[in-house]
Structure 1
Amino acid sequence: LVFNQDRKYLEGCIKLGETIWKRGLLKKGPGICHGVAGSGFAFLLLYRLTGEIKYLGRADRFAGFMFTEAFSSGSRSPDSPHSLFEGLAGTLCYLVDLMQPDQSQFPLCPVFIG
């Protein structure tokens, strides 16, 4: 894992996570490409890399937003509503990984091996 070999990569990930948290959600839809689940996956990655519970809490808060009226009324329908990256398939991957955060992996792009 490259993050264990050079601290600057981990520090870059942490800065990215703080930017996501400060700038807010991508509200285009629920998916991982440009939606809530994609932002949430960044926090699951940070949780696995650092073990800091605040990142798991942030991932959980992003997931919770998908079940609010503000999200339902403000997000767009994806072009491919059932696909992995734009649709519900990716969202389900995120929600499942949220239930087992110590094993979470971004779909089709594993960072952790073994």
Structure 2
Amino acid sequence: MWRWHGKRYLGGAHGVAGILQIILHAPPALLYPHTAAISSTLAYLVSLQDRTGNWPSKAPARHDDQDRENDLVQWCHGAPGILPLLATALALSEPQPQPDPQPASSSHLPAPALSLPPALRPALLSALAHGAALVSARGLLRKGPGLCHGAAGNACALFCASDALGRAGAGHRAAAASAMAGGVRLLLRCVELRGTPAFGRPDRPWSLYEGEAGLCAVLAEAVERVGSVLDGAGAGAVREYGSGLVGYCDLVRV
């Protein structure tokens, strides 16, 4: 368990989810020796999800109340920082596309980059759907439009969840569509409320992770996603550039 200022944070900015998200961008050969540790860490994170679908900002002590609700719903602390990690782990556990594709057969499918225990994959999907529903409902923050603790970052988390759920089969299509719609809805409300007293002014209002630059990046992705749906390609159609939180989810395409 990693620590920051003596605390065992869980979220995207300072915690386990952010660190493991970057580790999962390593080549599969480097990940393989650590598969058991990665899987156990993912299972531990899933076990900490509360009944609302959120996560605490830091790992609870043994005597802490496990049933208490957690208020922060933002990338740095809470579900929006953990959903992209779950989506990345699920994507890496699927057969990976090959540079020179050969005719696929049931006995010659490309190996996944990350081998997860059979029971973990459905647990990740369930946690992903539950967390996405929470972010859709509570993701419009008053702290500004940015990626770190704003509506843009929360929309990114929903887009990641939508992609992973959409690849998981017919039983998850409704949750995938709901996550996609939730992300677009957050962005529309964010644009409507820009410059009004409903939003606080970030310390760095034009920056990537706090301000308008991050919002612009996510709006560009949303435009392409909505365009894919309108063109009939589907919400999960392959895009020309990496998706997700800039510098966090888009280092490699999964």
**Percent of residue pairs identical:** 25
Change in CA separation of 1:85 and 1:7 when aligned onto 2, cut-off 3 Å: same
| TM-score, scaled to structure 1 | 0.83
Deviation at 1:100, TM superposition (A): 2.3
The two structures, once aligned, show a CA RMSD in angstroms of: 2.2
Alignment match, 1:105: 244
Aligned residues between the structures? 114
Alignment match, 1:83: 207
- 1:1-114 maps to which residues of 2 (within 5 A)? 1-3=88-90, 4=93, 5=116, 6-51=121-166, 52-69=176-193, 72-101=196-225, 102=236, 103=239, 104-110=243-249, 113=253
Separation (CA, whole Å) in 2 of partners of 1:71 and 1:40 = 19
Separation (CA, whole Å) in 1 of partners of 2:211 and 2:181 = 23
Unpaired stretches in structure 2, ≥5 consecutive residues: 1-87, 94-115, 167-175, 226-235
Deviation at 1:82, TM superposition (A): 1.3
Deviating beyond 4 angstroms after TM superposition, the runs of 4 or more aligned structure 1 residues are none
CA deviations 1:42-91 (Å, max 9, x no partner) are 11111211222222211111111023248722111110111111011111
Separation (CA, whole Å) in 2 of partners of 1:62 and 1:16 = 15
Select between 76-85 and 45-54 the one with higher mean Cα deviation.
Answer: 45-54
Larger helix share, 1 or 2: 1
| TM-score, scaled to structure 2 | 0.41
Separation (CA, whole Å) in 2 of partners of 1:38 and 1:77 = 16
SS at match of 1:82: coil
